[in-house]
């Protein structure tokens, strides 16, 4: 089968992802093998490409979210069968979905509603799971007394789906940040009650809207850099949820207001064998929300063909810092 791989970490201007022929993946007992029809491209993948190299003599095959059709299943798989239309995440410890087929644990895969195309479906898994766990953790609801949520980076993949999930599952007032006219308009389309400009004085903008504080901040990027203005707008005993690793974060800035700090890493359940079936359940809920029209896919850029050229174009969009929604590559 055809796949896109690389050997050494590299920057965009030295793009070295190339196409190879790979053996067909064989399922483990709990795996399904999926004929990949579309893949979403994520900031995490561009980070891996820039920073992670393969051991000598090996290669890296990324691909963290996909949509397609089940073509094989291990003996421990019970609720999926050959022919099912599905979407899901890859596994950061295994070969990913930048290939014609991928083998993945069935507990991080869910069926698609008939109305959802493969291309649109591939825009959802990583962003939806990341947003869900960052907001609702492992109890599937917001922390107590959270009524106002501020989403930093409301136009990106995680921010777009976080806004929609909050409006579906809660009565929270959702504030999104965006700095350009097109990203502000997108946040409003996603359902944000208020959009503020994170390149300006956020505290002043909230005061102008008669908002003294927020109860929770979901930070999708530059958490450590933004902590100087996050701290004044987040109430004492509030919640800061970070999905960017929060490298360099000064925890002392959180102490004075007794904040709770939440970290989200979408592969944690699989990596630590901690109820990975929860991902299938979450994706099942997302599929249901799409099926009844309450949640909208976020594929704003649609490329065609599993080639180094389309992959480089998608990576350039993601790394530009101006991506609205999600870039998706349709394979077939």
C-alpha dihedral sign at 228, 232, 234, 237:
positive
pLDDT digits (tens, 9 = 90+) for 100-118: 999 999 999 999 999 999 9
Which CATH number, 3.30.300.30, 3.50.50.60, 3.40.50.1980, 3.90.180.10, labels domain 2-124+268-330?
3.90.180.10
CATH of region 127-263, choose from 1.10.3720.10, 3.40.50.720, 2.60.40.10, 3.90.180.10: 3.40.50.720
Look at 289 and 253; give whichever has higher pLDDT: 289
Q: For the chain, give every domain's residue range.
A: 2-124+268-330, 127-263
Can you list the alpha helix ranges (DSSP code H) found in 97-173? Answer: 118-121, 125-136, 157-169
- The overall average pLDDT reported for the chain is 96
pLDDT 10s digits, 180-202: 999 999 999 999 999 999 999 99
The answer to whether the 2-124+268-330 and 127-263 domains have the same CATH topology is no
Cα–Cα distance between 63 and 41 in angstroms, integer?
8
- pTM metric for this prediction: 0.97
Instruction: Report the chain's C-alpha Rg in angstroms.
Output: 20
């Amino acid at each position: 089968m055809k796949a896109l791989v690389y050997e050494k970490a590299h920057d965009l201007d030295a793009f070295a992802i190339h196409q190879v022929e790979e053996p067909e993946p064989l399922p483990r007992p709990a795996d399904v093998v999926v004929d990949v029809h579309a893949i979403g491209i994520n900031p995490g993948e561009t980070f891996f490409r820039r920073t992670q190299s393969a051991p000598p003599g090996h290669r890296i095959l990324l691909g963290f979210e996909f949509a397609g059709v089940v073509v094989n299943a291990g003996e421990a798989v019970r609720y999926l069968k050959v022919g099912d239309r599905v979407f899901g995440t890859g596994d950061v410890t295994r070969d990913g979905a930048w290939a014609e087929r991928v083998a993945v644990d069935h507990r991080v895969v869910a069926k698609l509603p008939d109305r959802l195309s493969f291309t649109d479906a591939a825009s959802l898994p990583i962003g939806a799971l990341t947003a869900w766990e960052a907001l609702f953790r492992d109890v599937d609801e917001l922390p107590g007394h959270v009524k106002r949520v501020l989403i930093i980076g409301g136009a990106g993949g995680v921010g777009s789906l976080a806004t929609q999930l909050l409006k579906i599952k809660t009565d929270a007032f959702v504030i999104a940040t965006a700095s350009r006219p097109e990203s502000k308009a997108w946040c409003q389309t996603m359902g944000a009650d208020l959009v503020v400009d994170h390149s300006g004085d956020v505290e002043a903008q909230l005061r102008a809207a008669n908002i003294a504080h927020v109860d929770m901040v979901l930070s999708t990027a530059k958490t450590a850099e933004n902590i100087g203005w996050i701290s004044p707008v987040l109430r004492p005993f509030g919640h800061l949820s970070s999905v960017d690793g929060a490298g360099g974060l000064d925890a002392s800035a959180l102490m004075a207001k007794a904040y709770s700090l939440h970290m989200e890493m979408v592969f944690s359940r699989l990596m630590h064998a901690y109820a990975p079936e929860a991902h299938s359940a979450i994706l099942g809920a997302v599929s249901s929300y799409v099926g009844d029209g309450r949640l909208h896919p976020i594929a704003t850029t649609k490329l065609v063909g599993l080639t180094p050229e389309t992959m480089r174009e998608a990576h350039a969009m993601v790394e530009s810092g101006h991506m609205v929604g999600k870039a998706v590559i349709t394979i077939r």
